Amino acid sequence: MAKLVINQDKIGNIEEIIKICPFGAMENVGGKLEINASCKMCRLCVKKGPKGAVEYVEEEVKKIDKSLWNGITVYVDHVEGEIHPVTYELIGKARELANKVNQKVYCLFMGYKIKDKAEELLHYGVDDVFVYDKKQLENFKIEPYTAVFEDFINKIKPSVLLVGATTVGRSLAPRVAARFRTGLTADCTILDIKENTDLVQIRPAFGGNIMAQIITPNSRPQMATVRYKVMSAPERTEETSGKINLCEIDDDKLNSNMNVLEVVPKENEKGIADADVIVVAGRGIKSEKDMAMVKELADLLEGEVAVTRPLIEAGWADAKKQVGLSGRTVRPKLIITCGVSGAVQFTAGMDNSDYIFAINKDEKAPIFKVANYGVVGDIYEIVPKLIEKIKVLKEA
C-alpha cells in the first residue's frame, strides 16, 4: 500500500497546487491542503508541485507467518443435514490443492442433530470433519454461524477456506472475511495454489473481457466462493477415511438478534442446472416467436431451453434460464448453442459440459474455441434440418 503525505510547511500557493490535480482531489480546508477520496494516485502533485510539498510514500507491508496456517477447509453447506452437492465438488478441489502443498483437507460442519450426517463426508477423502452441533445452529442465522466460523479459524488456523456460492455461502463468507480482515474472491472458476500456499483465484473480470488472477499473499485465511457445477466432485468410496471431531463453543457466543418463526420448504423445481441436455438460444435468435424452434429441439432431446443475457434483457425468457456467471452455471451431458457468440461470461458458466455443440454463422465466434463440435451456418437453416433428422430417427 502507498499514500501521499502533505508537508504543509513546504507549500507556497495552495491554489496553484490544487490546479495541478486533474481529478479535483485537492482542497483548501481552513488554509491547509488536504487530499479527498477522488485521488487516483497519479502523483502529478508530487512531480509538478513545489519540491517536497507532497511525497509519495510506500507503506511497509506487514508480513504474515504462513507456516502457522495449514489445511484446506471446505464449509459444508446443508439444509437440515442434507448436504448440498457443491460441498462435494469443493472437497474434490480441496484435495487437489492440498496434495500440491502436502496439507490436509478439513470440513467445517455446523448445525443441529448433524453428527450422524457428518460420516458421509468421510467417504470423499476428507482428513478431518469439525462438527459444531448445537440447538442454536438449527436454522441459519448470520451471527451464530459467523461466531462458529471465527471459533474454528482461531483454533485450527486453516490456510484456505472454500465456500459454495449458495444463498447461505454468499451471506456468510463476506462476514467471515471482514472479521478476519482478509480477502475474498467471489465466483471463482479456476483455483490453483503456489508452493508457498498462496491461493491463486481466477475469475472473469471487467465484464468478462479478462480472466483475473487474484492472490492474498499477506493475509490468512484465504477465502473463495465457487458456484455449483463449476468443479468436479470426487467418486464416493465405500470405505471411510479421516475422523470426526466434535467441537464445543460457549453458548453466549451463539446469541442472535433474529428469531426464526417458521421455515417453509420450497417446492422442488427442475431447472437448467440439473438438466442433462440443454439447448441455448443466443443473440442470433431474431424474434421471440423463433424461441419455439429452440424449444422444439430441446423437447425432442428431452432437455431444457436456456438463453444468454441479451434475451433476458429483451424479456424473452425468465432469468432462471440464463447461462453464465450472471445467471446459472450448468454442466449437462450435452449442450447445444444456437447463435451464441461465446463471451467469457457465458462460457465460464458452461465450459465443463461433457459435450458442447455450437451453431453460429460467424466462423471466428469465440464459442468454437470451447466447443467439441461446431457447425458454421445460419441457425434458421441448420436447426430445422436437425429437428427433422431427429424426428426421423425417433420414428425409426
Q: Which amino acids are annotated as binding site for FAD, given as ranges?
A: 283, 308-309, 322-326, 360, 378-379
d(CA 237, CA 269): 29
| Residue 120: count of CB within 10 angstroms of its CB | 18
What is the distance, to the nearest Å, from the Cα of residue 162 to the centroid of all Cα atoms in its chain?
A: 10
Cβ atoms of residues 198 and 137 within 8 Å: no
d(CA 184, CA 177): 6
Provide DSSP, 52-105: TTEEEEEPPPPP--GGG---EEEE--EETTEE-HHHHHHHHHHHHHHHHHT--E
Whether cis (ω within 30° of 0) applies to the bond prior to 217 is no
Provide DSSP, 147-212: HHHHHHHHHH--SEEEEE-SHHHHHHHHHHHHHTT--EEEEESEEEE-TT--EEEEEEETTTTEEE
The amino acid occupying position 236 is R
Cβ atoms of residues 367 and 360 within 8 Å: yes
Cell of 314: 429483451
Binding site: which residues?
283, 308-309, 322-326, 360, 378-379
